[in-house]
A = this chain, B = another copy of it.
Amino acid sequence: MSIVTARPELIALLEDSRGAARMLATASTAHKNAGLAAIADAIEANIPAIVAENAKDLENGRANNIGDGLLDRLLLDEKRLQSIAGAVRQIISLTDPVGQVVRGNDMPNGIHLVQVRVPFGVVGAIYEARPNVTVDIAAIALKSGNATVLRGGSAAENSNRILVALIQDALASVGLPRLTVQTIDPFGRAGATELMTARGYVDVLIPRGSQSLIDSVVLESKVPVIETGAGVVHLVIDDSAPLEWAVEIAHNSKVQRPSVCNALETILVMRPAAARVLPAVCERLTQAGVIIHGDVSTREIWPAAIPATNEDWSTEHMSLELSIKVVDSLDEALDHIRTYGTHHTDSIITNDVSHAERFLAEVDSAVVMVNASTRFTDGGEFGFGAEVGISTQKLHARGPMGLPELTSTKWLVRGSGQIRQ
């Protein structure tokens, strides 16, 4: 099955990654932690040089009018670099997933059977204009015993180049393979496409960034992909919802950080609760600067809402806007979520046990909540320490991904001469 379209130079680079991955697979936790410490030290010791390279990217970005949001994501200053180095140091304290026993038993004939976690091997990442992701993914992959091949995009090329060089020197300084972390930015945009065909060289590919980037990787890739997707996140306010919880959870889910995938987009209120809870909920949201789109019933209670369109129900605003709909039943709410949701995170506020259990059982999302803010869907909050992203697919990993999600497994079979009858 040779469908690999990568240039020989890119294949050679990937073969170096495979070689590094082989050594990493059996590297001790202490050795990998020494590499992480060296990376954190190198970043902190080279802040002026990194900031200078980053300034070139910022200048190019301004010249290309990429916009304030992208410029802010691109920016590396002393404070951000110290926080990046701090995040690398945190990974040192996390449990190494490699070698963990997942399950095992003895076969009736005396063979010992153990399933253990092993690194994937080579992890590819394709992302856009976020140089912090370079260090983030490299460090998480290192701790889980993987080599990394990075495509960070032309907008952050100078920042990524110096970061990768510093990481490589740091790894070499503690005797780990220099080519554990490599960038394919010099291969340009076509390099990313070639990487997606590199079956046998890349064990898993993780796209991080805009929906269009993720879509193109998911659809074009011939290597296995873990999809991290958009969140059209719902909050259902049940008849029995305590008013204070409804108000505070709606506010927190939308306002605490509106630009991320676990932020709230749609509130579904049960009709009997609407008149009781919507005024306080809308009041609190409006005070926080949220623009409310409402259906007819919502606007009867809160006339300041602008009319919700059909498109609103499937929109991820990533800003201080949300939509509210009054529903007649839990079934209608579940139907709405099935139709417009993205299987990310959905929450219900209720004091009714049977509604809570139905919601948990029937909503087909990575994270389903009762009486909690949707902002809790997060590797850090779940106690994973580091987060690779939030998977919205069902294969391999679902929801926040930590270190174990960057591993595969292997069956170890120890016999004493057994043959099959």
Contacts and interface: CB of A to CB of B under 8 A. Distances in A.
A219 B196 CA distance: 11
A273 to B, nearest CB: 16
Interface residues of A, number: 71
Given A105-B383, A113-B382, A249-B417, A368 B224 contact: no
A412 B399 CA distance: 11
Interface string A398-421: 110000000011111111111110
A375 B414 contact: no
Nearest to A227: B224
Interface in A254-268: 256
A219 to B, nearest CB: 6
Contact of A395 (B113, B224, B248, B419): B224
The complex is assembled from copies of this chain, and their number is 2
**Chain A interface, >50% SS class:** mixed
Contacts of A361: 25-26
A376 interface: yes
B394 A203 contact: yes
Nearest to A222: B219
A127 interface: no
Nearest to A103: B404
Given A224-B395, A252-B419, A367-B411, 5 more contacts: A25-B364, A347-B413, A372-B417, A376-B413, A376-B418
Interface of A: 1, 3, 22, 25-26, 105, 107, 111, 113, 115, 118, 120-121, 203-204, 211, 215, 218-219, 222, 224, 226, 242, 244-245, 248-249, 251-253, 256, 347, 356, 360-362, 364-373, 375-377, 381-383, 393-396, 398-399, 408-420
